[in-house]
Amino acid sequence: MTTTFPEGFLWGGATAANQLEGGYNEGGKGLSIQDVMPQGLLTPPTDGPTQDNLKQEGIDFYHRYAEDIALFAEMGFKVFRFSIAWSRIFPKGNEDTPNEEGLAFYDRVLDELEKHGIEPLVTISHYETPLHLARDYNGWTSRELIGFYERYCQALFERYGQRVKYWLTFNEINSVLHFPFMSGGIPTPPEQLSQQDLYQAIHHELVASARVTRLAHQMMPGAQVGCMIIALPVYPLTPDPSDVVAAMHVAHDSYAFGDIHCRGEYPGYLLRRFREQDIELDITDQDREDLTNTVDFVSFSYYVSTCETADPVKKVEGAGNLLGGVPNPTLQASEWGWQIDPQGLRVVMNDYWERWRKPLFIVENGLGAVDELVEVDGTKTVVDDYRISYLNDHLVQAREAVADGVNLLGYTTWGCIDLVSASTAQMSKRYGFVYVDRNDDGTGTLDRYRKKSFEWYRQVIATNGAHLQ
């Protein structure tokens, strides 16, 4: 294999504010929905913040960002994906003016990145809707959130417009179908949330995304705005055409978000679903026009693929796969039950590229695993060969897709430094090249240690991928 990644390829890592910053009530920050999710998706939200919530302190990036960014620089990162906590900038989400202390924090983060020549990639909203907007407006079901979100984005573009080129509007926007509270700030329990209200909330998010894409282009010439979706290849469980059709229907769930972001209008298959399920959305002429502001690139997370069948007997929900689906009998799973499928990445990249013809950016990929800190030659480290092999195998497939002709801007591994898990709120589900000494019970020194994969990734970046096997 002689193909390499393109010149200027953006190698790096990805994080989210609520999972690593800590400082949940410092610097004038308001509460976000994460402050009432101490168990992630495992239990319903609590009434208020509780001390067992590991995200309150995270890995203390709020105070240790300079040290952490220096470690990323040591690996040779070209790009660092992080999110801005909406409630640091607008503590309740709907104030008229932004919180200066919050803005100043991200100035300092950007200063460090600039110092090391690392390009920022900013997620504007990553599962951290201000709690007030969730509680008092029922999250994105309310049209008013479009205006609040725009005001928030305007503040970001004004402040950081000269320094940030790459922006993502909503993390894993299609996840709202499965996790309305975490993804859409909608407190109504999923089983009580009507499809009508859910799709209206989705519509508001899509309009907001399109409106700020236009705003970004107006305010920051040269800005690149991407949507961000969970990439989930859906395979038919058998060659039975009914299974193929069943898989197609599930695939449409995710395609819809990319189709609207890239084509600027609702696809026919979704309009049909609305008709058949008596869903009548409030879509104004202005909304329709706003939606035509399409994104510059498509970013996505990739962890798993899934299967689908039309046969109700075989339709056993996958226990571990976050988004359900039928387990693939040919694949192994991670310790958390996520099925590992490197070739699925090549499949989905080809698929997205052919479908949308927009540059792609892999902004999350990685293995959540239990790590053990050991001493090797007098230095504390983690011998994480399993992580190296996971990442190697996925990157080899990404390289195959590039050889297939796919335009790929970059690759950021998820959780380049250990952080709190989104789905389970555990520390023990680790993804990083850097080990953080913190345990599920909140104990630990928060000291950082380079894992074996740290040096491996440094070499992958230094050789622009030639180090892959």
Residues in the site for ligand BGP, rule: CB under 6 A? Answer: 16, 19, 171-172, 301, 364, 368, 414, 421-424, 429
Tokens of 274: 């609305």
Cα dihedral sign, 304-234-328-183: positive
Instruction: Give the tokens for residue 396.
Output: 């080899």
CB 301 within 8 A of CB 334: no
Instruction: Tell me how far apart the alpha carbons of residues 73 and 373 are, in angstroms, rounded to a whole number.
Output: 23
Q: How far, in Å, CA of 279 to CA of 195, rounded?
A: 7
Q: Roughly what angle, to the nearest 10 degrees, separates helices 342-356 and 241-263?
A: 50
Phi, psi of 121 (to 5 degrees): -130, 110
Match 């801007």 to its residue by tokens: 409
Closer residue to ligand BGP, CB minimum distance, 223 or 322: 322
Question: Which residue, 83 or 213, has its beta carbon nearer to ligand BGP?
Answer: 83
Residue pointed to by tokens 């740290």: 454
The tokens describing 259, both together, are 């189709």
CB of 421 to ligand BGP, least distance (A): 3
> Which is closer to ligand BGP, CB of 11 or CB of 127?
127
Verify whether residue 265 is a known catalytic residue.
Answer: no
d(CA 339, CA 199): 29
The two counts, helices (H) then strands (E), for the chain are 14, 14
Q: Distance between CA 100 and CA 225 in Å, rounded?
A: 25
Q: Evaluate whether 39 touches 425 at the Cβ level (below 8 Å).
A: yes
What beta strand segments (E) does 404-452 contain?
Answer: 408-414, 434-436, 448-450
166-170 and 119-125 beta bridge pairing? parallel
Establish whether 375 is a catalytic residue: no
Of residues 129, 110, 130, 112, the one with CA closest to residue 121: 110
* Number of Cβ atoms within 10 Å of the Cβ of 336: 18
The token duo for 377 is: 């030659």
List the catalytic residue out of 119, 172, 205, 400: 172
Please report the DSSP string for 52-76 in residue order: T-GGGTTT-HHHHHHHHHHHHHHHT
- Distance of alpha carbon 452 from alpha carbon 434, whole angstroms: 9
Please name the residues in contact with 93: beta carbons below 8 A apart, sequence gap of 6 or more: 30, 86, 87, 129, 130, 132, 133, 148, 152
**Nearest to ligand BGP of 207, 422 (CB atom):** 422
Size (the chain), residues: 469
Active site residues: 172, 364
